[in-house]
Structure 1
Amino acid sequence: MSDCAECSDMQAYTVYNQSGGQGKTTVARDLAAAHAEIDQRVLLIDMDAQNGSLSNYLGVDDNKRNPEADDLTFHLVEQGQGEFSDLIRTAEPNVDVLPSHKRLNRVDEFLDSHENYIGQTKPDDWEYPRYERLLNVLRENDVPSEYDVVIIDPNAKADTVYYMALYATRNVVIPAVPTRSGYESIDGVADSAQGFAENQDINIGRTAVIPTMVDTRKGDHKDYARKLRDEYDAPVYFKSLSAFESAEEQYVSVFQLFNEHRSRVRKSEKNILPKYRTLAATICATFGNPLPKEAWDGKELFTGDDFWGDVDIPFADADVADDTIDQTAGVN
């Protein structure tokens, strides 16, 4: 593996689906590890105050219920109890995590109070930049210069937290189970993102759609997975395998699971890491930063199978200009 100097511009995206049980937190966790494997520095931002969130998956949620702990919510309203950098925890090599806190459940209360406080000195027609608060915090604390990739995992609600994440990243990765409800949930994500983009006069790109928990023994799953592949150019799919649950039990990514906690990889699991590498390579290309072919050995990548067909990986020498997304704003 080589250093990914070609991906010098920071890439930021939100992993989201408003329907629960679509695998968004697993995708966020393991995509981060795929980016990290090629020496990209990744910041995972957990914005889900519920139990079993990304912080829990990676074993860094010990302050989640501590009422005395500093957290992102305080920094959003300029009441940080310490340095922003002190909130960040290293979970794995090249993967840092900004953990969530239960206080995020009350983020609207904090933002309302902040609006009332600073609004006292503003003209009558002033509007509080509620959804810009996360973006401002990330920029003020030099996140774009410290990290190559920022991945945000909000809860499965179209609420203020989600819209702050969208405003900051301007891009969304959508995991979806290949069922009717999973398939239809993609339109729900697209509609909420488009409505928010129009309201805020910004552009939001769909970075990738990813079929998750696919069971190819089921006819409906096969049909809907192929619909996702064909209609949304989904580059990979993931089956429902025990390895993802094992990684959660060990508080690691699936990459660390196989590298440090498993003596062997089952036949059914052999494509997991190659698929995440192919997905990360596709995301880099979508951002206009295609990887060099040397980033991974060809055998380490998913190039298709009998079910999915051939997968073309858009490396640096491929023509990807028409598929790139606008990065003129957002965290960059």
Structure 2
Amino acid sequence: MLAYSTYSEAGGVGKTTTAANLAVAHARAGLKPLVVPLDPQDGDLSRLFGVDDQRTEPVDNLTRHLIRRPKGDLNDLIRTVEGVDIIPEHNMLSDLAEYLQREKDQAEAMGEAFGMHSQLLRVLQEAGVPEKYDVLICDPPATEGPHLYNAIHATRSLVIPVEPSAKGKAAVQGLESLVAGLEDQLNVEVGVLAAVPVGFKDTRDQRTILDEIEYPIPEIIGERASLMEGCWMQQCSAFRYVREFRDRRRDYEINTLAQFDSIARQLETEVGLEAPNPPEPGDVDHEVVIA
């Protein structure tokens, strides 16, 4: 199983759109991906895919499962969009740290152990996710805390969207100390599968910054503000946006879709996962067939 979290310390670098488009790229190739978004903000992956309609309702949700208070089966939470299974975010995520700490205190008072940062892994394993899915993608917030720690504990690997700027460079440089700290705190090994530069304009300064990144860079994605804004407006992936909402197909946008396909194939190769029906990179009309 391929499992990774999309993460960047710097905000506004396309972390969520990267997760969404890679998930669809995996699905386009005939794989079965599950996305677990963990960002309590409103502008999250659930919003991007239009599955946040019960965000404020008193319904069963992932947070209840993380604190061992489920109202039903985890599989009943899953929504499917563009061939991708998603566990939608809920407003209870905003208070996840408090809920987890309360559960930990109660467990310890009863002489039981409760790992605050291993609960997502527990929930996914109990639901049989490693057996049911080919790909697991977590999309945590940029800030440190139980959302991020649970995501990394469950996936053990990172894909890092990178802004090719001094700010982005600092974020990447700070990642090594963050990963080391997470490994010590969570007692797991954390790897970086890839860095994905986003918003590249091919300036000399940007090329210098990219040359200094030590992580694998499978593709460099150019400035695509209009495309990504269109995704948010229509609540869909870039693949669907180009296919259904563009009056004409622009070569540079097709190239961007091809890059997401290529990144997905390279990530799959990292763990020896072979996609059964990979499309020609950027083939917008490729039919999604889940084996």
* TM-score, normalised via structure 1 length: 0.80
Contact 1:33 1:253 (C-alpha < 8 Å) held by counterparts: yes
Aligned position for 2:73:
83
Is the alpha carbon distance of 1:192 and 1:186 closer, same or farther for their aligned partners in structure 2, counting shifts above 3 Å? same
Alignment correspondent of 2:237: 253
CA contact (8 A) 1:28 1:153 kept: yes
Contact 1:215–1:222 (8 Å) recurs in 2 = no
Distance 1:246 1:240, change over 3 A: same
Q: Greater RCO between the two (CA within 8 Å, min separation 6)?
A: 2
3-state SS of paired residue (1:174)? strand
* Distance of 1:157 and 1:83 partners within structure 2: 29
Instruction: Tell whether the 8 Å contact from 2:31 to 2:275 is kept in structure 1 after alignment.
Output: no
Could you tell me which residue of structure 2 aligns to residue 240 of structure 1? 223
8 A Cα contact 1:214 1:225, kept in partner: no
Matched residues in 1 for 2:274 and 2:183: separation? 26
Match of 2:97 in 1: 108
- Worse-matched range after superposition: 231-240 or 68-77: 231-240
The match for 1:278 is 262
**Does structure 1 residue 40 correspond to structure 2 residue 41?**
no
- Structure 2 equivalent of residue 70 of structure 1: 60
**2:254 is the counterpart of 1:266:** no
Q: What SS does structure 1 have at the residue aligned with 2:200? A: coil
2:40 alignment partner, one of 24, 49, 52: 49
Residue 21 of structure 2 is matched in structure 1 by 30
8 Å Cα contact 1:170-1:204 kept in structure 2? yes
Q: Residues 113-124 of structure 1: matches in 2 within 5 Å?
A: 113-122=102-111
Aligned pairs for 1:1-332 (under 5 A) are 10-66=1-57, 68-93=58-83, 95-122=84-111, 127-216=113-202, 218-228=203-213, 231-241=214-224, 242-289=226-273, 295-297=278-280
- C-alpha distance in 2 between matches for 1:98 and 1:222: 38
Deviation per CA, 1:127-149: give whole Å up to 9, x if none.
53111111000000111122111
Structure 2 gaps, min length 5:
284-291
Give 1:208's aligned amino acid. Answer: A
Inter-partner Cα distance in structure 2 for 1:274 and 1:145: 29
Moved more, 252-261 or 204-213: 252-261
Residue 5 of structure 2: SS of its match in structure 1?
A: strand
1:116 Cα offset (Å): 2.2
For the residues of structure 1 that align with 2:41 and 2:167, how far apart are their CA atoms? 23
Structure-2-length-normalised TM-score:
0.91
Separation in 2 of the partners of 1:299 and 1:118?
Answer: 50
How far has the Cα of 1:298 moved from its partner? Answer: 6.8
Aligned residues: 283
Post-superposition Cα deviations, 1:16-65, rounded to whole Å, max 9, x if no partner, equal 01211111001000000110101111111110010110001111111122
The structure with the largest alpha-carbon Rg is 1
**Matches of 2:151 and 2:176, distance apart in 1:** 15
Matches of 1:107 and 1:255 in 2, distance apart? 33
Q: Per the alignment, in what secondary structure is the counterpart of residue 199 of structure 2?
A: coil
Q: Helix, strand or coil for the counterpart of 2:70?
A: coil
Describe the shift of the 1:112–1:281 C-alpha distance in structure 2 as closer, same or farther (beyond 3 A): same
* RMSD of aligned residue pairs (Cα, Å): 2.0
Rounded to whole Å, the distance in 2 between the matches of 1:134 and 1:236 is: 30
Q: Please say if residues 159 and 192 of structure 2, whose CA atoms lie closer than 8 Å, have aligned partners that are also in contact.
A: yes
Distance 1:165 1:299, change over 3 A: closer
